Amino acid sequence: MASKYTVTLIPGDGTGPELVEAARLVLEATGLAFEWDVQPAGLDVLEKEGTPLPERVLRSIRQNRVALKGPITTPVGSGFRSVNVALRQELDLYANLRPAKSYPGVRSRYQGIDLVVVRENTEDLYAGIEHWVIPGEAAESIKIITRRASERIVRFAFEYARENRRRMVTAVHKANIMKLTDGLFLEVARQVATEYPDIEFNDRIVDNMSMQLVQRPEEYDVLVMPNLYGDILSDLASGLVGGLGVAPGANIGDGIAVFEPVHGSAPKYAGQGKVNPTATILSGMLMLRWLGEEAAAAAVEAAVAEVIAAGECVTYDLKERRDDPTAVSTMEMASEIAKRVRERMRTAVA
């Protein structure tokens, strides 16, 4: 009997619940035994429980050590802190892993891209430590970079590169201007790199990196960077491979991880069952890999790639014309992927 995994399932809000249902269907098609500890969080929960992130959610993830999460809306300018940022900080999920890989059949300006963005997830300007210097006139945001956080994220990138047979790690920074903060990040990156002589190392200034990713993305492999640059460049990397609908993500700490798509809750499509489940399903694939279920992860990735390449059972955004009447629903696309996962797992066992 295969091991049983108890996974915290956070449906999220907006299109989150329908996407998480789609991913659950595909993950169960692997034949692995999952027990889902469903923990609502987000806007609806705020109304009922007075907080969008009740303690029970954190307790569940701390206990199960693994969660699959749908996107959660953060209203602009509202009083409450982003649930997504709070989760990463509370659970010390210090590494944000965002692979950007081309799948044939996804319309994009580029082919053959296989990049991984490793984003520091706990500090930098993104921690949102801000205050008014002169109310209404001047505001200040504090950028914190520490040796400890820089060292563990760069080490994570090198370990990831080694385990996944990647050839190169590039540190991205603005150390020419931010001499102390980004200077420290770069100094630490160079030090850590000496421990990994089998992996090539280089560094790029973030503005130059942005241009190079647009012009020559195939020259890069694993990119590691502080939080805010990672937020921006990982969306750029998603754009290189066809957009947010296909970009998975993982927030990883020591022995604990939360898997979620890069995209947000796309609230205007909520309840319509039409958004693309690929990013959430591929986040589930990253979860399988993290759990050490390599065969199941490979089956899910191959099934996703097949369905996208065939181009029939895909959502509107993957069709050439967005109003194509042959576009299928979120669940229909997931069912087709699940069917192919079952076939692959059966063949693997036979």
Which residues have a catalytic role annotated? 126, 174, 207, 231
Exactly one of 64, 102, 276, 329 binds ligand NAD (CB under 6 A); that residue is 276
Candidate list 123, 124, 182, 260; residue touching ligand NAD; CB under 6 A: 260
Q: What are phi and psi of 163, to 5 degrees?
A: -65, -30
Shortest distance, CB of residue 40 to ligand NAD, whole angstroms?
Answer: 14
Region binding ligand NAD by CB under 6 A among candidate stretches 70-78, 91-99, 209-217, 296-304: 70-78
For residues 120, 124, 128 and 132, what is the CA-based torsion angle, rounded to 10 degrees? -170
Alpha carbon dihedral 239, 245, 247, 250, in 10-degree steps, equals 140
Burial code of 280-293, b = ≥16 C-beta within 10 A, e = fewer?
bbbbbbbbbbbbeb
Q: Which stretch binds ligand NAD (CB under 6 A): 68-76, 100-108, 187-195, 217-225?
A: 68-76
**Angstrom distance (rounded) from CA 292 to CA 297:** 9
Binding string, residues 75-114; x marks residues near ligand NAD by CB under 6 A: ---------x------------------------------
Q: Are 85 and 41 in contact (CB under 8 A)?
A: no
Helix (H/G/I), strand (E/B), else coil: 241? coil
- For the window 16-55, what string marks contact with ligand NAD as x by the rule CB under 6 A? ----------------------------------------
Our CB check for ligand NAD shows the closer of 124 and 260 to be: 260
Query: What is d(CA 224, CA 153) in angstroms, rounded to the nearest whole number?
Result: 8
Q: Does 257 bind ligand NAD (CB under 6 A)?
A: no
> What's the Cα-to-Cα distance from 189 to each of 142, 169, 193, 195, rounded to whole Å?
22, 10, 6, 10
- 11 contributes a contact to ligand NAD by CB under 6 A: no
Q: How far is the CB of 245 from ligand NAD (least distance, A)?
A: 4
Binding ligand NAD (rule: CB under 6 A), the pick from 64, 73, 96, 329 is 73
**Burial of 138 per CB tally in 10 Å (0-12, 13-18, 19+):** exposed
Q: Which residues bind ligand NAD (CB under 6 A)?
A: 71-74, 84, 244-245, 260, 263-267, 269, 275-276, 279, 317
